[in-house]
Structure 1
Amino acid sequence: MGVIGHEPTAGSGRSRIGSHELPTETVERSATESRRRDALNTRSMNIPHVRTDRSEGEGLPIGLTLLSGAIAASMLVPISWLLFEVLTVNPEQVWSDFTRPLTAEVLTNSILLTIGVTTLSILLGVPLAWLTVQTDLPFRRFWTVVVALPLVIPSYIGAFSFVSAFGPRGEFQSILAPLGVERIPEIYGLPGSIVVITLYTYPYVYLTTRAGLLSFDRTLLDAARTLDHGRWEAFRRVTFPQIRPAIAAGALLAALYAVSDFGTPAIMRLRVFTRQIYVEFQSYQSEYAAVLSLQLLAIVLVVLALEYRVRSGGRTGGDGAGRGDAADPAVSLGTWRWPATLLPAAVSATALLVPLWILGLWVVNADPNASDALALQGFHVINSVKVAAAAAIVAVLAALPVAYFAARHDSRLSDLFDRATYVGFAVPGIVLALALVSAATAYDGALGTRFDLVPTIYKTIPLLVFAYVVRFMPQAVGTIRTNTLQVDPKLTEAAQTLGSSPLAAFRRITLPLVRPGIVAGAALVFLTAMKELPVTLLLQPLGFENLVTLIWEAQEQAFYQYAVIPSIILLIVSGLSMVVLLSQGGREGL
């Protein structure tokens, strides 16, 4: 038997294996039959058809390795440059900036804000997840969806809605004035910021905890009942240790959002790192802004370390063998069944109805004679779509090789490249934007203004798109990597055995199968880039305006009626991102 080789026959559309000619369709038929056999085998073993075995780093493809490494390195450029900038500052100046009273105030407020938001998000998200998964709460399917909806509202839209409703001379004050109430509690500052950000971040804890509860082994609760444990005792001793990693994952997202949020603290007049960095940048105090950015990064690292410690100390819920049906509640609330609906009703009503109420009032009370300088124009929408679409395309193209390399080659190098792409997502947007401003101005000063053939990059569309890519590419990497892991490597191996090159096998076999992940990743990048605030404000080109800049300018000038339509458009966009999220997660447990 001779050596197997591949030789295309000119003009025949056939492939040669050894001394035999096979039609090109044989390649596809062989791959299809292999996939069917593997699916049947996995179903017969009652396990999911997800192929996760990967090569142990042997024989890494040079081209793919270099390409993935270059992409990963480019994702680290902004933060690396920021660290370089801080190191070049006079140490005495750095110490002086660290010891400023303003720095201490900003640090204290940022820490208290992060702790407050994280704690309240857990106190809201965990009970809501427990009620909608493990109890006989009335209308569970309805509350399951409704309590997650605040996630679609950008926090800065929620913030100026709450200020308009509950601020001095706000709508709520006007309602209470005839009753003799002349002053209501102050919404500005730390308490108001904690409340508003919590209302739009608790769904992170709710969703991750709900996922943990859906995979929870209910036979453990049955065992607790046989030992005469009550509802609270069973939750504390049985359920909580099992879902602690899921709670920690959601708490991490809430904490990172709180520490990196710019819009809400700025609207609430709270001095935190993100707001003060923006103020110093606008005042041309770039060195102090860089020092503040370094401190903010330190807080992010502490949050990540704490989350890892909490998550690593938890236990998983097993393999789900005793999970049970989500439609069959494990806990009966008894006489508390209907009163328990007050929690999801109060939380969702506060988070959803206040912004909708305020937006409706702005439409009704709009002044028809007001200047239309801030009115929504077609170019605002076009600019938002243009830069977000460009970011989505570039992010997917950059994510493909990194995700494929991480999924198919299990090595320290592939893991390093994969994790490097997540740095931009963990870094607050204001810090990322400041780093790119510093890097771009240094580049323009060194090359762009000295050579006519070298274009400047500061305040340009390409720089803004690159910032979006660095910030949101992990969304594309994650979805593409997950879909690639579900593709059986035997399919591409069969194609290569029949003579296809690795690139051709990827194009004909893997790419069509991971297309859902590509589409989902592109959609998530597009939708999140559409509503990104701090990066857009710092890097927008001169004369460039989009939906986000229009909303922010209208808010700063208190012309709220001009923020209504752009806000509604962003709410619709955010709602579409929730649809993409749910379509990836499936309908299980609804």
Structure 2
Amino acid sequence: MFNLKRHKQTMQGPKSLRRAAVVLAAMCLLPMIAVALAAVTGGSDTLQHLANTVMGRYTATTALLVLMVSIGTLLLGTGAAWLVTMAEFPGRRVLEIALVIPLAFPAYVLAYAYTHLLDHPGIVQSTLRDVTGWGPRDYWFPEIRSLSGAAVMLILVLYPYVYLLARAAFLQQSATSFLAARALGKSPWQAFLRVSIPMARPAIASGVLLTVMETIADFGTVAYFGVQTFATGIYTSWFSLGDRAGAAQLASGILAVALVLAVLERSSRGRAKYHDSSKHQEPMAAIELSGWAKWGATALCAIPVLLGWIVPGTALLIMGFGGEQDLLSPRYLGFIWNSVTLATIAAVVTLIAAVTLGYLQRLDDGPVSRLSSSIARLGYAVPGGVIAVGLMVPFANFDNALDAWMRATFDVSTGLLITGSIWLLVAAYMIRFLAAALGAYEGGQVAVNANMDMASRALGQTAFGTLRRVHLPILRPSLLTALLIVFVDVMKELPATLILRPFNYDTLAVQAYRLASDERLEGAAVPSLVIVAIGLLPVILICRQVGRR
């Protein structure tokens, strides 16, 4: 009787966790289902109009942007990862950390900085005209506000995804296979291409797919540069044209692509393994470069560091001093308060959801937990604008129906209870970034041995008692990392905030976007600097991990 009672008590936790997991999975699925239904009910006329007018342009531009960014991040991230892992050259130890820092910069912030530097009235072209005496039509200069310009901005901030995953894969490789290729007469370059790259291919592919998903989801950069992609098309259809059906149908198209990419990313991570037949894992020995090769390696690794954060960071600082924006004014303090409040609430809610899903899968790795966890991870592949549209449609219908019923029954107007509220925005953030928090939490669970769970249960602890007294204290660093990652991602998120934010409730990202849209780039530098400064927190944590490794 005692053992049966204890068994029932220990199963109460998984049952309640399963219910919570089902609710979370339903919340993550809701915007996707809503977008699909709104697209289907929008009618073929709207779809035909989109196909005849903008669909081809959106498709071609988005595909070309994805192609350029994926190739750029592949070459830059993989090349830098190989050099800092396998070669010894001046500045290597500093550069292997500095190469991660561009993760702190949103792509749209780089767009503001480089537009200020490279646009026609910018300091670079102005100096060129002053030195040469040329007029505006006497020379050619690359146009920063273009598709290629947007691709460069995205490459500079997204290559660290590939760099981190490729570097981890190279560090885990044994030197046996590489040395065997060298013994067979292959040069270091040939051994790299024929041995190291194939072994690291799943990790590299996973990093490239992450950059592709981020490229599809980007709104701030392409909108500011006037590049017409699916992301800008959704916002234009929703707000500028008032075409809800068109926005939903565009969102359904990008949703389908994002889900395919999510499946590919998961499958590539699942295959990120190789078999080393040697009994001893021999670490790679760094190749000592000499002559022009060592300085060439330093230059190749220094260029993305220079262009990815030193130049734009310096430009933003100079712009900020001339921006005439007072960070201590009540208006800016309100922007900061709104941003921090939203980011804090969303980070805590998302972390709780991640712990719920991750702990359930540890306790009961059944179909409910696996399916809930897989659905929760899909949100990271879905652009914020798509999630915003998917939440706005059903909850706006609910608010309108409730208001109509209350008017007819009690002659009372309820207004918009959910639509335009902070909580709907927090729900969008949770759906969007739950995968990142879940990944950080599951990464830390490796440190919790299964024997700890059994010992805790033997001492009479329930499932929740084990979580509270054993797991959470051990996982504190991972929980903090997950909290910071979501916090910073929410601070940078733009399209979902623009669509779902309450009336007259602006954040630093919205203020930066508004000032940049009005061509007040020096003013936009001030909120951008605050976003970047906060974004450095998780990057510092990542850099510490890289340094320890």
What's 2:494 paired with?
Answer: 533
What's 2:96 paired with?
Answer: 144
Over 3 Å counting, the alpha-carbon distance change for 1:321 and 1:78 in structure 2 is farther
Q: With the length of structure 2 as denominator, give the TM-score of the two structures.
A: 0.90
What's 2:217 paired with?
Answer: 260
Listed as ranges, the matches of 1:9-28 within 5 Å are none
What's 1:293 paired with?
Answer: 251
Q: Output the aligned Cα RMSD.
A: 2.9
Is 1:360 the counterpart of 2:317 in the alignment? yes
Q: Please give the alpha-carbon distance, in whole angstroms, between the structure 2 residues aligned to 1:281 and 1:137.
A: 52
What's 2:354 paired with?
Answer: 399
Deviation at 1:507, TM superposition (A): 2.5
1:474 to 406, 419, 435: 435
Contact 1:376 1:566 in 2 (8 A): no
Q: Please give the alpha-carbon distance, in whole angstroms, between the structure 2 residues aligned to 1:504 and 1:404.
A: 12
Tell me, which stretches of 5 or more residues in structure 2 are unaligned? 407-411
What's 2:409 paired with?
Answer: none
Deviation at 1:98, TM superposition (A): 4.7
Deviation at 1:322, TM superposition (A): 5.4
Task: Give the count of matched residue pairs.
Answer: 533
Helix, strand or coil for the counterpart of 1:500? coil
Q: Please give the alpha-carbon distance, in whole angstroms, between the structure 2 residues aligned to 1:197 and 1:374.
A: 32
Q: With the length of structure 1 as denominator, give the TM-score of the two structures.
A: 0.84
Q: Which has the larger radius of gyration?
A: 1
Structure 1 letter corresponding to 2:162: V
Listed as ranges, the matches of 1:176-325 within 5 Å are 176-178=128-130, 179-181=132-134, 182=136, 183=139, 184-282=141-239, 283-304=241-262, 307=265, 316=274, 318=276, 324=282
Deviation at 1:442, TM superposition (A): 1.0
2:121 to 131, 146, 169: 169
Helix, strand or coil for the counterpart of 1:229? coil
For residues 505-532 of structure 1, the C-alpha deviation after alignment (integer angstroms, 9 at most, x for no partner) is 3322233223332222222111211111
Is 1:80 the counterpart of 2:17 in the alignment? no
Over 3 Å counting, the alpha-carbon distance change for 1:588 and 1:317 in structure 2 is farther
Q: Please give the alpha-carbon distance, in whole angstroms, between the structure 2 residues aligned to 1:241 and 1:525.
A: 33
1:342 to 295, 299, 319: 299
Contact 1:395 1:473 in 2 (8 A): yes
Helix, strand or coil for the counterpart of 1:383? helix
Structure 2 letter corresponding to 1:163: T
What's 1:520 paired with?
Answer: 481
Structure 1 letter corresponding to 2:382: V
Contact 1:165 1:354 in 2 (8 A): no
Over 3 Å counting, the alpha-carbon distance change for 1:566 and 1:5 in structure 2 is same
Over 3 Å counting, the alpha-carbon distance change for 1:310 and 1:529 in structure 2 is closer
Structure 1 letter corresponding to 2:213: L
Contact 1:472 1:525 in 2 (8 A): yes
Deviation at 1:113, TM superposition (A): 0.3
Q: Please give the alpha-carbon distance, in whole angstroms, between the structure 2 residues aligned to 1:533 and 1:243.
A: 33
Q: Please give the alpha-carbon distance, in whole angstroms, between the structure 2 residues aligned to 1:320 and 1:575.
A: 41
What's 1:124 paired with?
Answer: 76
Deviation at 1:168, TM superposition (A): 2.2
Q: Please give the alpha-carbon distance, in whole angstroms, between the structure 1 residues aligned to 2:405 and 2:289.
A: 74
Contact 1:155 1:196 in 2 (8 A): yes
Deviation at 1:418, TM superposition (A): 0.6
Contact 1:441 1:458 in 2 (8 A): yes
Contact 1:199 1:347 in 2 (8 A): yes
Helix, strand or coil for the counterpart of 2:88? coil
Q: Please give the alpha-carbon distance, in whole angstroms, between the structure 2 residues aligned to 1:335 and 1:171.
A: 33
1:495 to 456, 477, 490: 456
For residues 515-553 of structure 1, the C-alpha deviation after alignment (integer angstroms, 9 at most, x for no partner) is 332222222111211111111111111111221111111
Over 3 Å counting, the alpha-carbon distance change for 1:6 and 1:575 in structure 2 is same
Structure 2 letter corresponding to 1:464: L
Deviation at 1:324, TM superposition (A): 4.7
Structure 1 letter corresponding to 2:468: R
Deviation at 1:372, TM superposition (A): 11
Is 1:64 the counterpart of 2:25 in the alignment? no
Percent identity over paired residues: 29
Over 3 Å counting, the alpha-carbon distance change for 1:507 and 1:189 in structure 2 is same
Contact 1:121 1:202 in 2 (8 A): yes
Task: Select between 483-492 and 199-208 the one with higher mean Cα deviation.
Answer: 483-492
Larger RCO: Structure 1 or Structure 2 (Cα < 8 Å, ≥ 6 residues apart)?
2
Contact 1:399 1:476 in 2 (8 A): yes
For residues 197-255 of structure 1, the C-alpha deviation after alignment (integer angstroms, 9 at most, x for no partner) is 11111111111111111101111121112111112211121111111111101101111
Q: Please give the alpha-carbon distance, in whole angstroms, between the structure 2 residues aligned to 1:269 and 1:127.
A: 31
Deviation at 1:496, TM superposition (A): 2.8
Structure 1 letter corresponding to 2:453: T
Q: Please give the alpha-carbon distance, in whole angstroms, between the structure 1 residues aligned to 2:114 and 2:70.
A: 20
Q: Please give the alpha-carbon distance, in whole angstroms, between the structure 2 residues aligned to 1:332 and 1:262.
A: 42
Contact 1:524 1:577 in 2 (8 A): yes
Structure 2 letter corresponding to 1:431: V
Tell me, which stretches of 5 or more residues in structure 1 are unaligned? 8-57
